[in-house]
Amino acid sequence: MKIAVLGAGAWGTGMALQLAQRHTVLLWSRETDVADAMRQTRYNQRYLPDVRLPDSIQVHGGTAQAADVADCDLVMVACPVAGLRGQLAVLRGLLMPLVWLCKGFEEVQDSAAAGLLPHEVMAQVAPELRAGVLSGPSFAQEVARSQPTALVVASRHEDVRSTVVHAVHNETLRVYSSSDCIGVEVGGAVKNVLAIAAGVLDGLAQQCAAGATLAFVPGLNARAALLTRGLAEMTRFGLALGAEAATFMGLSGMGDLVLTATGDLSRNRKVGLLLAQGLTAQQAVATLGHVAEGVCCARTVLARAAALQVDMPITRCVVNLLDGKINAKEAARLLMGREAKAEFGL
């Protein structure tokens, strides 16, 4: 197969490396100078500097147009959510299956507008596309090195699901199928916000282990409670948007949440760790040097939940922390200080 991967960040490059084992891959970097460097050195120095690009990956620069990928069997859009609208707009009319790899909500500047999930963005700019989402618990570095990983492809089009499974599924990368795009996208977006909260608790616990004296000392018990209640929060929100409950017990729900909230490679967890050190959200993102989608979409998640009358206390706490209304210690107390209630809404 011939597959185009549009976006040469860590995840796009990692997926291209995985696909190149069996397919011809066209990898696009929006920045032409980055593409030139990748062609010359055969390394993505910024995102995956330790993994060489095989010759079967053809590197291109600029924004891929529909004509550039017209002879491909599959197109994967690996840009951040912020770039999805523009990329899909120039791909209108494509006949082959397309999937996006990004996770999050589109951030909007107009307070009267609602931030959209990727499939909602597509419905506005390119509704004719046969498309879906490929998501799940996956660090790019591990995928690039062919370490065992499991993903889920979701689409209402059976041929999109089957094409992606045929292209991606192999001995080390297992791909499951789903028709629940909403649930898979909600899981991929909300788990980033919850990972920030988990990073805050872990960061405060690390300070205590290093000798700091705190009146409130979160530990592993607190993290387990946070993630369990976070999964319930994610599920309530997803159901209100039209998702299926079972999806949140799968790879894109519980699976991705566990990985992102506990893994040392997680950007969003790293933001939480930095916030626990006293950095502002802006300082934490600057220190990170890469996109952390949880920072970008937390306010959008909270706004849409409010419109749906869905209570999301963990998300609200993260937003208040990002906005500087509370500090990390206050956030930890709020995260673990909810009133007693029935666990399952009895």
Task: Please list the active-site residues.
Answer: 191
What is the CA angle 338-343-346, rounded to 5?
120
Given a contact cutoff of 8 angstroms between Cβ atoms, the answer to whether 77 and 7 are in contact is: yes
Contact status, residue 218 vs residue 205, Cβ threshold 8 Å: yes
Q: What are phi and psi of 187, to 5 degrees?
A: -60, -45
Token pair recorded at residue 285? 């993102």
**DSSP 8-state class, residue 114:** P
State how far the Cα of 176 lies from the Cα of 250, in Å rounded to an integer. Answer: 10
- Count Cα atoms within 13 angstroms, Cβ side, for 206: 13
Q: Distance (Å, rounded) from C-alpha 65 to C-alpha 88?
A: 9
CA distance 71 to 57: 16
Task: Report the distance separating Cα 302 and Cα 309, nearest Å.
Answer: 10
Q: Which helix (H) or strand (E) holds 98?
A: strand 98-100
